[in-house]
Amino acid sequence: MALLHSDRYLDALADQSALLAGALAGADLTLQVPTCPDWTLRELAEHVGRAHRWAAGIISRRVTTAPVFDMSSLTAPAAPHELVSWLRGGADELAEAIRVVGPQTQIWSWSDDQSSGFWGRRMTHETAVHRADAELALGRKFVLEADLAADAISEWLSLVSLPQAVEFRPELAELRGDGQIMHLHSTDPGLGEDGEWIVRRTPSGPVWEHGHTKGDVAVRGAVMDLLLVMTRRVAPADAPITMFGDVGLLDHWLEHTRF
């Protein structure tokens, strides 16, 4: 699997943050977010802005061991117009931190990828999916470029397949199996093999790769819609996708990847 270029992630991070800020401008920030039911739009924005600044901090300090997870001091401004500027500022701060140290510099992460580039990719997709939360809450259409959506699916599958992920999310142990296969197939032109995923449930946990094969369940649709389904932003029955085979296998996967 080839990652996108670091500049692609950092440019997208700025774009997604700007689009999220634009969606929030003039919105009722007390509105509950159905896909993140514990949050209002304001709390969603604060979460994203804090995450950007927290990641920027560990990168700029070149932290290589697990830091204390305390973001309580990174409080968003109360005024709505200041909030949207604050949101964009955090993304700019993170992108600049990565560009200064370079994407290959060793930086702590909870993933196998211990590099500052990990955070560029992670925060880009985190921001895009949370933008979907905001757009859906506001009844607006969410649109994302196909290469970003495909890479977000790949990253998501990699994260939930990490052996150490079970330590933090015990429910992921339920994804173990006896070789059952879930096949995701995007219909977008130009993605090629990057737009297909084979996910196998093994006794030690799920593994995945790009490719085409017959699965116990197959899910076909536009890559953006596949992303919204796999990240539990849209229910399969409500998405313009086609499913074949044992749909219960997909339902089981989604039920145990609640993050």
Q: How far apart are CA 188 and CA 80, in angstroms?
A: 37
Mean pLDDT of 63-90: 87
Mean pLDDT of 173-200: 96
Q: Do the beta carbons of residue 224 and residue 124 sit within 8 Å? A: no
Per-residue pLDDT of 126-157, as tens digits, reads: 999 999 999 999 999 999 999 999 999 999 99
Sheet containing 180-186, strands listed edge to edge, beginning at the edge strand earlier in sequence: 205-210, 196-202, 180-186, 217-221, 242-245
Q: At residue 142, what are phi and psi to the nearest 5 degrees?
A: -100, 130
Mean pLDDT of 173-183: 96
Picking from 171, 252, 162, 153, the residue whose alpha carbon sits closest to that of residue 204 is 162
For the ranges 12-16, 71-75, 100-104, 128-132, the lowest mean pLDDT is seen at 71-75
Per-residue pLDDT of 229-249, as tens digits, reads: 999 999 999 999 999 999 999
Q: At residue 129, what are phi and psi to the nearest 5 degrees?
A: -70, -35
CATH 3.30.1050.10 residue window(s) in the chain: 171-255
Mean pLDDT of 156-174: 93
Here the contacts of 159-167 (C-beta below 8 Å, separation 24 or greater) are: 159/111, 160/206, 160/257, 161/205, 161/206, 161/207, 161/208, 162/111, 162/112, 163/204, 163/205, 164/110, 166/205
CATH 1.20.120.450 residue window(s) in the chain: 6-143
Q: How far apart are CA 86 and CA 107, in angstroms?
A: 25
Per-residue pLDDT of 4-23, as tens digits, reads: 999 999 999 999 999 999 99
Question: SS3 for 1?
Answer: coil
Determine the pLDDT at residue 96.
98
Length of the chain (residues): 259
CATH topology of domain 6-143: Four Helix Bundle (Hemerythrin (Met), subunit A) (1.20.120)
Q: Which CATH architecture has domain 171-255?
A: 2-Layer Sandwich (3.30)
What is the end-to-end Cα distance of the chain in Å, rounded?
24
Determine the pLDDT at residue 68.
80
